[in-house]
A and B are shown apart, each in its own frame.
Chain A
Amino acid sequence: MPVWLREHSWRQTLTAVYLSLPLRGARATPANIFCSEQYLKVSIPPFLFEAILYAPVDDTNSTAKIGNGNIFFTLYKKEPAMWDSLTLANAGKEKLQHLRENAVLKAQEKAKEETEAKKITKQEHKKYALEATMKLEEAERKRIEDLKEKERQKVAKDLELWKNRQKDADKYKSVQKKGELHQEIEPLKERKNEKMNKTRIPNEGTSKIRLKSTKGCHGSCSIFSQNLKEEQLPAPRAAATIKVDFTPRVFPTALRESRVAEEEEWLHKQAEARRRINSDLSELEDLKEEEKNPDWLKDKGNKMFAMGNYLGAVNAYNLAVRLNNKLPVLYLNRAACHLKLRNLHKAIEDSSKALELLTPPVPDNENARVKAHVRRGTAFCQLELYTEGLQDYEAALKIDPKNKNIEKDAEKIRHLIQGTMQSS
């Protein structure tokens, strides 16, 4: 239950109401005061003061002064008139409620409006700040541009001067030289016939930078010294060859073009595959040492394949696979055997497995991939699955476009497909 503050005193003029509210020791802050047009409330728990004003007041301009254990309100009346009392006498409960709610709503609206207004002013300030910054930057840029421009002009002028000096020096020297040459040419001709004819009117300066100072003497002196120099030039070198060798590169592509990551992966995989040994086979104990080496078995298999012993080769590859099932070359070669044995499904299986192991696709395993595709393609065609076969041949062609055999076979398959399509 709130404690009502009832001891208040007030007086009024035509335009304002002055209300004094003692606080009985409670401290008040602006947050405790709530005022709207016709409703005034001061709530300092547990204390409560509430008043429905006699007539509406201008709540925006009205003030409240907190101090001395007292709140002093200065309320400006909306309509200048003398009030009979501070509060409305016959305020029914509903009216009270109604007014309270209105008051709250009105206050809320006002608050909203205020925030809106604040936002707008903030935006405007921001815009202004931005424009000011832009202006400053623009000015700075312009200043730099001007500096550059001045520099440019200065430099251009300088260059022109230098060029003209050059030209003048040249002309002067050429005139001088002509004179000198006529005088000197007789004795020189005897000694250096061809060379004099070849030489154009010399255009050199003895010093690189100081082009202004040219004396006739310098000119003729230098002709002499040039000739002397030619005398002193060493003979052409004795011809010789130096042999060079080059740092090898695993992948002969520039760093940015190389697919280093993939290539590394491939190398890594190969290295891993080599090291693997499926050592959990009990039958292995019966085998000789060399028969446990997948590479040796692979070679054995290759030899048997070459001799036509396809079954034997398959056996060798089988054992090798059991020892190390990560070597793509084993599957590749076994696929070739199966093709010869007409085990076409097995051939397809093995080629697929080989291709699986031949990822990532890099230049290093190109040949292997081409072979795998070709073998699988052949198997498909022999099963009369020509479209699948063609797919493989085209894949092979993509890797190795220059291979004529693959091209020919691909063509043949295309014709076959067209033939069957026509007849079916």
Chain B
Amino acid sequence: SAAAGPERPQVVSHVQQALSYTVFDCKWVPRSARLLCLGSAARGTGLIQLYELHGARLELLREIEKPKPIKCGTFGATSLQQRYLATGDFDGNLNIWNLEAPEIPVYSVKGHKEIINSIDGVGGLGIGEGAPEIVTGSRDGTVKVWDPRQNDTPVANMEPVQGESKRDCWTVAFGNAYNQEERVVCAGYDNGDIKLFDLKTMSLRWETNIKNGVCSVEFDRKDINMNKLVATSLEGKFHVFDMRTQHPAKGFASVSEKAQKSTIWQVRHLPQNRDVFMTSGGSGSLHLWKYEYPAQRSKKDSEGSEMGVAGSVSLLQNVTLSTQPISSLDWSPDKKGLCVCGAFDQTVRVLIVTKLNKI
């Protein structure tokens, strides 16, 4: 439970809502006090529920049922006017929905042969520049990038070499989208591989292996020159990579931390402060971390090439909310410290993290 240090951020539980289905992802609707829960109903169909925060409770505004259970969703590639939701489901379908008229998707493609485990969007919400794009990572081992203006075929496809046994892709994230041309996709796989694909040159820019299956990757900001990348894995470990300096042989410098005995399901950076992030664990706990940069972010090695220097991570706060894993986590982009998390105990919780201004 929370420590009593008066200046440390506190995680205050604001609302708790029991759901009658398994929730896999939860997301704030940008520019509102509304949130979405995505999941799988007991009878094997997909559910999207739209809630609004009313005082100390959540009011269900709308419930949308779809034929296949939904695993993940993002608002990342949509404009602020439209606020369309892109979802990946258990059958490998990528759909984009207008929540005001959800009967027919605005965009639909059977992108993958197996479940889409993770989805991310970039280029929308008035953030950054460049085309809106969506990336999906699937159990079929492929990572595909889609442009909502192009039907049926992805604009980039990262697939296993012919004959290579595939590994499940568990997580994907966009980054480095600081101008119209630059963009990277980072993908994490179940065998511990992390691969960084450069979409401008259509090549593999970097890869590494962190020994344990990678559950979640996220850049601290999608729309800047890539700065930091956090990758979480099974066995309670996470790694923070300094992405500013790539050494030709050693890649990116990193610091790793073993936080909990169980899997770290998600990492999410605070939209208002890119050095603060929260990890959620299989033991039902949330940990709030702060990254501190080293005095010098890069140094020269014996041959004169630049290599990065990783900083350090300190734990600001931790709290245990549930006995089941907290599998999804989202910060509100509009209100600092407001976040929503969904756990496998079929509960969605709205939390407020206080004193983030003082960090």
Contacts and interface: CB of A to CB of B under 8 A. Distances in A.
Interface string A150-174: 0110011001101100100010000
A148 B354 CA distance: 11
A25 interface: no
Interface in B230-281: 234-235
Contacts of A255: 211-212, 234-235
B180 interface: yes
B164 A245 contact: yes
A159 B2 contact: no
B334 A240 contact: no
A243 B192 CA distance: 18
Contact of A204 (B80, B199, B333, B338): B80
Interface string A169-197: 01000000000000000000000000000
Interface string B157-195: 111110011110000000000001100000001111101
B338 to A, nearest CB: 7
Given A246-B167, A255-B234, A236 B147 contact: yes
A156 B197 contact: no
Contact of B32 (A166, A202, A234, A246): A166
Contacts, number: 139
A254 interface: yes
B312 interface: no
A219 B82 CA distance: 15
A302 to B, nearest CB: 28
A246 B154 contact: no
Nearest to B183: A237
B53 A159 contact: yes
Contacts of A163: 33, 53
A242 B235 CA distance: 30
Nearest to A223: B81
B150 A236 contact: yes
A254 to B, nearest CB: 6
B180 A242 contact: no
A61 interface: no
Interface in B1-23: 2, 4, 6, 10, 12, 14
Interface stretch (B110-118, B201-209, B290-298): B201-209
Contact of A237 (B80, B199, B333): B199
A204 B131 contact: no
A87 to B, nearest CB: 74
B158 A245 contact: no
A244 B190 CA distance: 14
B100 interface: yes
A246 B14 contact: no
A199 interface: yes
Given A233-B131, A254-B234, A255-B235, A247 B209 contact: yes
B352 interface: yes
A245 B130 CA distance: 29
A226 interface: yes
Interface string A232-268: 0111111111111111010010111000000000000
Given A147-B4, A239-B155, A208 B333 contact: yes
B145 interface: yes
A219 to B, nearest CB: 11
Nearest to A164: B33
B131 A239 contact: no
A120 B335 CA distance: 62
B14 A243 contact: no
A343 interface: no
A239 B154 contact: yes
A281 B216 CA distance: 60
Contact of B157 (A159, A209, A239): A239
A159 B193 contact: no
A144 interface: yes
B149 interface: yes
A156 B56 contact: yes
B203 to A, nearest CB: 6
Nearest to A246: B167
A367 interface: no
Contact of A240 (B81, B156, B180, B213): B156
Given A200-B100, A236-B131, A236-B147, A155 B53 contact: no
A170 B234 CA distance: 43
Given A159-B338, A239-B157, A246 B164 contact: yes
Interface residues of A, number: 43
B153 interface: yes
A209 B333 CA distance: 9
A99 B231 CA distance: 89
A89 to B, nearest CB: 80
Contacts of B354: 151, 155
A246 B191 CA distance: 8
Contacts of B131: 233-237
B203 A242 contact: yes
Given A246-B193, A247-B191, A151 B156 contact: no
B335 A203 contact: no
A246 B147 CA distance: 26
Nearest to B79: A226
Contacts of A152: 12, 14
A209 B338 CA distance: 14
Given A155-B354, A159-B352, A166 B33 contact: yes
Contacts of B10: 148, 151
B304 interface: no
Nearest to B262: A256
A159 B354 CA distance: 12
A244 B187 CA distance: 11
A224 to B, nearest CB: 13
Nearest to A152: B12
A406 to B, nearest CB: 26
Contacts of A239: 153-157
A312 interface: no
A205 interface: yes
A317 to B, nearest CB: 34
B115 to A, nearest CB: 18
Closest 7 CB pairs of A and B: A204-B80, A236-B147, A237-B155, A240-B202, A163-B33, A202-B81, A236-B150
Interface of A: 144, 147-148, 151-152, 155-156, 159-160, 162-163, 166, 170, 198-200, 202-205, 208-209, 226, 233-247, 249, 252, 254-256
17 contacts: A151-B10, A155-B354, A159-B53, A162-B33, A163-B33, A203-B31, A204-B31, A208-B334, A209-B334, A233-B132, A234-B130, A236-B155, A239-B156, A246-B160, A246-B165, A254-B190, A254-B235
Interface of B: 2, 4, 6, 10, 12, 14, 31-33, 53, 55-56, 79-83, 100, 126, 130-133, 145, 147, 149-150, 153-161, 164-167, 180-181, 189-193, 195, 197, 199, 202-204, 209, 211-213, 234-235, 333-335, 338, 352, 354
